[in-house]
Amino acid sequence: MLYLATHLREVKLKRYLRTKRGMRLIKLILAKSPVLIRILINPLYVESGEFKTLAKLSKFQQASPKAKVVYDMDGSFD
């Protein structure tokens, strides 16, 4: 994973289900991907706490200063 993470520029998580494991995966990707530009997250379903989740994700340590977390509520990215 560490070698792969050094080359990641974009990550798309489709039908993402917010779990502790999923949050740890995103945290790991952000922390270990120095050339990452963005993570696109499309949740499986939208819950009332999604904006809190996005705020939490935005606070994770990031290896790339350019990295952005994009939360796609309507599934428009493909």
Mean pLDDT, residues 2-9 taken together: 75
In tens, the pLDDT along 18-54 reads 788 988 999 999 999 999 999 998 887 777 666 677 7
How many Å apart are CA 22 and CA 71, to the nearest integer? 14
Instruction: Write down the pTM of the prediction.
Output: 0.80
pLDDT at res. 78:
61
Q: Which range has highest mean pLDDT (2-16, 23-37, 40-54, 60-74)?
A: 23-37
CA dihedral sign, ordered 1, 68, 25, 40: negative
Task: Give CA–CA dist 8/18, Å, rounded.
Answer: 22
